[in-house]
Structure 1
Amino acid sequence: MSIEVQSTEAGFAKFNSTVFNFSSLVLEIDNTPSVEAGSLTAIIPVTLTSLGVLRDALSPFFSLTGCVSRVLVLCPESLLSQSRAAVRQVMRSARENPNHPDVSLHPWGVGSDPTVAILEAAAHASTKWLLLLDDAGLSGLTNRTREMLLCPVAANQPIGPRGIVAGPGSGSCAPPSLEMRPALYLLPPFTLPSSLIRKGCEDWSDLGRAISQAQNSQIGGVIRGYGDPDTNGCNGICARDPSSPMDQLALSTPILEARLSTARAHGRFIFLLSNMGDLHLVLPVLCRLHETGHLVKILLYTSSHPASVSSSCRLHYDTLAYESNVYSGIRDWLDRLEGDHTDVIFTVSEPATHGVTSNHATMIRIPREDLEHVHWMGSLSLTEWKNWNIPRIDVSIITRDRPDSLARLMASLSQGRFFGDAVSLRLNMEQSSDLETVRIVGAYKWRHGAVFTHRRVIHGGLLPAVVESWYPHSNDSYGLLLEDDVELSPLFYAWIKMGILRYRYGQNRNETRQLFGISLYQQKNIELHPEGRKAFDPRKLFASNNFADPSTPYLSQIPCSWGAVYFPEHWREFHDYLAGRLSEATVDIGQVVVPNVRSNNWTKSWKKYFIEMVYLRGYVMLYPNYAEFTSLSTNHLEVGSHVKERPKEKREVFRLPLMPLGESQQLLDLPGGRLPDWGVLPVLNLTGGLTSLERIIEVGKGV
């Protein structure tokens, strides 16, 4: 959608043209009597966040003498029973007051939000005056301000203590003051005549714009307070609405409030972003969190330029006041949320946010250059988000005398996106490594973590070079093993992290003990058929067997050596298995363990023995299954221990297209846009045939 952006100064000047007449409006308001008793309806929403304090939010309507005759409590259908119980408790305690207002409870539909629900209810109200509140009710206000709202003057303007006023380049949320101020629009709580409500308004800025147009005044409300120390976090905070007249920025869907959610919410998220550009980049994640019911709070902590944003969700964000120190402003903003439990704080990793910490929430710090590639994070469950910082992925490179191949691998590794994670790198050189290889290793700069360099003094060969290249420090350590003829997609780490979080730290992690690793490489051939290599297409296999979505990733018993991460328990187990196998402590070294597979002829391959262990224990590896064999790694079939010649046609059999950085959203080309649940992943045996986890365990136990 094309967005026309006009100058903010023009909007500001237009607004100021009304100031000349505002003094007469102030005099009119000061001389206007209060509304009649019983002529005011209060409308208050209930959210998952406010449910626990609903009784406190309703108490002012019973404890203070006012003009309210009716209170409409709005709630999502999922909170109806809990809200009804809270309302009943309030009503029981108010029986001694015969003049208490009538209280009724009304659910709003799935997919709606409280702001829309409030405006719809207001359009059908039967009283002449309205008091519109958010889920905080009248909390944080002085008694005098409460009295002003509970029995307001009969002015033909919205009046309240908090609103958006014009400012140089943006709108700022004006804190309460003793002097009245014109506002572009008000934020709850505020009062207004019910005649000013316009159908079709979806947010407070819509309402303010409709009122100003109807009155031809460019004023959407009047801010008035009585020295309140804080009005729902207004002090020092900008609440910019990009569709307000000052920015003259029309969005395809305005950004409104997402913290007002339903009981589908599983967690509370805070996003600390620098500007509108950051917000635009992270919007797919924010929208998905909102759509799945999470509570989202957003702070833009530096001034931003207008930008076009197209989204299918409605979110609210705050920005800091211009005079605020950025760090202290962020800290103050977070402190105001201290009473609410927060699960995850997502920040841009830069000096302004380095000092932000939390004793309870999971801190996730993403470099700015990675923000445009975080789409996949929207698919994570709350449990996976909260475990973000637990797994540690170590990269281990195995090389000998192929300096050009090594340089290509290391260049692709440097292009990888690591999303702020610390990643250790181990460079393993064979004793026979040439001087150019040694030079490349010594000159390589790695900026994501520690680097360890190792060179053998006695030639060991490929089997010990791979097996001894990494050993897990803990059960949260994962080893990415890379031989130097591999090249990586810049998105390889996202695929690994997404898989580890889902199947190792997700809600069903106790069911995934048979998973020994995650492959970056797509299988285009199955090499273990006794008669030789055969072409393989998992999508065709799944389609011919009537799978609902043939694009699903899958589990295979075949270990990958062309870019794969191995899990700690299984790698330790492999060390133990290999030591026993090579020592012939239990069986002769020449004995066939796995029947009818080609790997029995691989006398110097570590994979031969890993395949044996997988077969005996019933283990599996996760494989990607993207369209056109798009892969997170590829193999260049270089001449080496197992390859003596590499004709072009043979190289093309193994070479796969790498997923480009500019198409990071392709990571979510998955069933339902997320990695499938463990129990629905297809399972393939060593020769690419469909089987089941139960079957491969049974086969292994029968050996």
Structure 2
Amino acid sequence: MTLWRTMGSLFLSDEELVKKDDDHKPTKASQWSPARAPPRKLLKRVALALAAGFLIYLFIHNVPTDVPIVDHRRPSYASKHASPGHGSEPPRSIPRPRPVTAPNWSKPSSDKKKDPKKDKDLKKDKAPSQSESGYDGPIRFENLAVSLHAISGTMGDYNENKNILFVASSLQSAALLLPMACQMGGELRSYVHFALMSRSVISMEELAEVNGVDEACHIIFHDARPDHAASSTDERFQRSVMRGMYHIHLYMHPQAVVVDAGDESALFIEAMRSQVNSMGAPLIEIPEDKSTQLSYLTKLDSSSLAVWHKVNIEILIQAAPGTSGNLIRLLKSLAAADFSASAVPHLTIELPSIVDPATAKFLETYEWPPASAYNPSRAKQLTLRHRIPLRDVTEEESSVRFLESFWPANSHYSHVLVLSPQVELSPSFYHYIKYSVLEYIYSRGAVAQQYDSRLMGISLDLPSTHLDGSKPFSPPSGKGDDAPTSFLWQTPSSNAVLFTGKKWVELHAFVTRLLEWQHARPQARAGLPSLFSDKLVSKRYPSWLEHALKLSRARGYWTLYPSRSTAETLAEVHQELYRPPEEYQNDVGYRGRMPDGGFLMAGSFMDSLPSRGNLLAFDDMPLLLWDGKPTALEKLDSYAAEYTAEIRRAVGGCEALSTADLLPRRSARDLFCVREE
């Protein structure tokens, strides 16, 4: 009984224990009383104390003594090959670069005495010896956190900001990129950062001093080299580049990343491509010996550079019969063009029903993209379209067939460059096109002022005559002087002009509505008003240009034309073998030689631009009406409203539409009095 009660005291609650004791209380006849069992809580406390003491005893006798103290203020990444004790050194700090005088980038200073041994060491990375290399321990960035925490004022926490990042691994690449970064920083349009991810042990202040970087460059430096950089294995070096970019992205969100693809190692470029692609930012790779041709990117802001790879430009050529020599010359100039750091445009050639033997033979071996262009997949981007009917084409058929040759997949980023066979292009023409497109459509200022709402196209040449062919065209002079300048003209061109994707879509819609209206009312075609029946564009030009002019007049659009000095570095229009468009081949009065255009000159278009290579703002350019008369923006809008009213009166039916239905739309329904569905 005593044993049973003792066990019950261990497993029963206090309340139950009391109840059991009352039930088994001895009678008065019994004088014997058993000893009371110890309380249950006391036994638990004793057991816990003994267990804790035993654990403390085990810990004291087995505590490790060879584990280093880890600094958790900076990220550390373990490696499967890491050895004990590595990666635990205290962080070292690198002082900020000392301000120095920026030298002339094109002419190195000769009045300073240089140490040949020091220059030799700086021109090549201080590679580790065989005995020093092979470290594959945890990756720690000892100096990166300080600079990243200091850039909070650049709004790097947001996906859209003004940050541009230059990254170099080799010192040769740093010497190439730092002058470009300095030029961009001096424009004060973006926050310019430079990150060093090198095996070299050169200090950041020494790197800045050697390359002539001072405070006027407005460059923010980041030392993104890992610990043991000089002795790291190739695998660890690649991981450090990717992890470094990962942390930079978290704090900076760069809108574009610029690297030198000429002097950098394949390990670095491969790591950068992989990581930057996952970040969603464009990686702009400067090919070897192409920094001068791409110097215009230092003039662009972060908003423009963010869409560097999103912009898509296609080339469209309409070949007329008997233009074999001109077409071959144009295609050869295209093959010699420089498409560095950009995707090669898709090329479409519209061929007539009868193809000249010389043209057919040339196209058999013509390669596009050209062999000199970067095209690792060797994909062909050439489309030939051959017209079937042998009969003469009408104006309508020619216009429709040509406009149907291109349709933008994304009208905001896709544009088309229309080229006449009479044109010969300079090697740098594509850089001017891309520079102008990025600045006038995607820059922060262009978006704020809605430049793209007015811009129909960008021409590469200067017209020699007015569109009606009545008299020579004289380009306007700059405001306040007689210097040549770029200008805005309401008249589009057909020689060498880029049409924006949005305006090309609207031109499609305008021609669709116009032809639908004409075919739906055949009885009215004989009595069309003068604005539809009169031909303002000479038959020396293709028929589709008439529709483009009508749309431009109705909407108040303009085309950007370069100054004469700039045009001479971009394109030349040859008229010695001129042939009229196919739809006007039988118009004898329009055969013969046209006035010559400008001559193609050697040199860079950047040298012809004012203000150190900057493009003029639209507000600083002269503005011309379609007939060549100077005007102001208010007058242009007034004339556009009057012309729109004439179209609506001629079409009829707009009285039944509301004011909202008559607002300008890309579908052109408002011009033809059709209610938007």
Structure 2 residue aligned with 1:470, among 406, 422, 425?
406
Answer with 1 or 2: which has the greater Rg.
2
| Residue 333 of structure 2 is aligned to residue 409 of structure 1 | no
Structure 1 residue aligned with 2:386, among 455, 464, 467?
455
Contact 1:594 1:612 in 2 (8 A): no
How big is the shift at 1:376? Answer: 0.8
Query: 2:488 aligns to what?
Result: 555
Structure 2 residue aligned with 1:366, among 285, 289, 292?
285
Distance 1:578 1:482 in 2: 21
Distance 1:479 1:200 in 2: 47
Structure 2 residue aligned with 1:380, among 281, 296, 300?
300
How big is the shift at 1:553? Answer: 2.7
Amino acid at match of 2:547: Y
Query: 1:345 aligns to what?
Result: 257
Distance 1:262 1:682 in 2: 42
Structure 2 residue aligned with 1:640, among 579, 598, 602?
579
Correspondence 1:170-569 to 2 at 5 A: 177=89, 187-188=94-95, 230-233=141-144, 267-273=162-168, 275-291=170-186, 292=188, 294-299=191-196, 313-314=216-217, 316=221, 321-324=229-232, 325=234, 327-343=238-254, 344-349=256-261, 351=266, 352-353=269-270, 354-369=273-288, 370-401=290-321, 402-422=323-343, 423-447=345-369, 450-459=381-390, 460=393, 463-464=399-400, 466-475=402-411, 476-507=413-444, 508-509=446-447, 510-523=450-463, 525-528=464-467, 532-539=470-477, 542-543=478-479, 546=480, 550=483, 552-569=485-502
- From the superposition, tell whether residues 405 and 274 of structure 1 become closer, same or farther in structure 2 (CA, over 3 Å): farther
Q: TM-score with structure 1 length normalisation?
A: 0.57
Distance 1:528 1:664 in 2: 26
Amino acid at match of 1:483: S
Amino acid at match of 1:457: I
Q: Which runs of 5+ in 2 are unaligned?
A: 1-68, 75-85, 103-137, 156-160, 370-374, 644-677
Contact 1:284 1:375 in 2 (8 A): no
Distance 2:223 2:500 in 1: 42
Distance 1:309 1:628 in 2: 32
Q: Which runs of 5+ in 1 are unaligned?
A: 1-139, 146-173, 181-185, 191-198, 204-226, 236-256
Distance 1:303 1:232 in 2: 15
How big is the shift at 1:426? Answer: 1.7
Query: 2:16 aligns to what?
Result: none
How big is the shift at 1:379? Answer: 1.4
Contact 1:274 1:348 in 2 (8 A): no
Query: In structure 2, the residue corresponding to 1:537 is in which secondary structure?
Result: coil
- From the superposition, tell whether residues 564 and 552 of structure 1 become closer, same or farther in structure 2 (CA, over 3 Å): same
Query: 1:65 aligns to what?
Result: none
Q: TM-score with structure 2 length normalisation?
A: 0.59
Distance 2:73 2:560 in 1: 64
Query: In structure 2, the residue corresponding to 1:362 is in which secondary structure?
Result: coil
Structure 2 residue aligned with 1:655, among 598, 613, 617?
598
Distance 1:318 1:403 in 2: 58
Distance 1:233 1:617 in 2: 53
How big is the shift at 1:381? Answer: 1.7
Segment of structure 1 superposing worse, 493-502 or 626-635: 626-635
Listed one character per residue, the Cα deviations across residues 119-163 of structure 1 (whole Å, up to 9, x for unaligned) are xxxxxxxxxxxxxxxxxxxxx995999xxxxxxxxxxxxxxxxxx
Structure 1 residue aligned with 2:544, among 585, 606, 628?
606
Listed one character per residue, the Cα deviations across residues 590-624 of structure 1 (whole Å, up to 9, x for unaligned) are 75328998526669622122212211221111111
After superposition, the CA RMSD in angstroms is 4.5
Distance 2:634 2:353 in 1: 44
Distance 1:274 1:485 in 2: 46
Listed one character per residue, the Cα deviations across residues 7-66 of structure 1 (whole Å, up to 9, x for unaligned) are xxxxxxxxxxxxxxxxxxxxxxxxxxxxxxxxxxxxxxxxxxxxxxxxxxxxxxxxxxxx
How big is the shift at 1:474? Answer: 2.3
Listed one character per residue, the Cα deviations across residues 552-607 of structure 1 (whole Å, up to 9, x for unaligned) are 53211111111111122222222233344456247748753289985266696221
Query: In structure 2, the residue corresponding to 1:337 is in which secondary structure?
Result: helix
Query: In structure 2, the residue corresponding to 1:534 is in which secondary structure?
Result: coil
Query: 1:624 aligns to what?
Result: 562
